[in-house]
Amino acid sequence: MIEFVIVFPIAMAFLMLSIDVGRVYMTANSLQLATSRAVRAGAIYGAAGKTPQSETQPCVSYPGSVREDYVVLDTFCSSLYSLPGGGSIISGTTRLKISGGPGETQICSKSNPNIKIEATVSVASMVPGAGALLSGGSSDSTLPGSWSVYLQSAAVCEVVTE
């Protein structure tokens, strides 16, 4: 009986940690797909569009269709909404940076022929303390006990103005 008392908590912690790692992996794959689709749309269009004034939870005000002024942002949000588990990724998106400063429009030119997007998502951990332990105790995640997933995608513009 004492073996069960010792082995069961360790087995449950290992099982929950395995599920957490799978969730983080799924989030990273979904985020990579969304960022690559977004920069590809900007490269085809020839402009990234305006960057959001507020980078925290940028897809909350997504109108449901891609606007010309926000082509990269809206494509990013559209891609996340269409993916399984995209709602949790959207609510956990703590930072989104499109090349150029907040409120600026980046247009593809000979001097700047690239579209770049950076996204950071916090994934809440199911295992108490595992997120803080495995993320190295970094303070940039907004949720205590969460894992921070950071991805960056870039594309060369197909349409260059100027």
Name the nearest CA neighbour of 47 among 96, 10, 100: 100
> Which range is least confidently modeled, 8-17, 46-55, 81-90, 131-140?
131-140
| 86-115: pLDDT as tens digits | 777 777 776 788 876 666 778 888 888 888
> Which range is least confidently modeled, 20-24, 30-34, 117-121, 137-141?
137-141
Sketch the domain layout of the chain as residue ranges. 2-156
Name the nearest CA neighbour of 146 among 160, 132, 157, 128: 132
3-state secondary structure of 42: helix
Q: Is residue 32 within 8 Å of residue 153, measured between CB atoms?
A: yes
d(CA 116, CA 109): 14
pTM score, whole prediction: 0.79
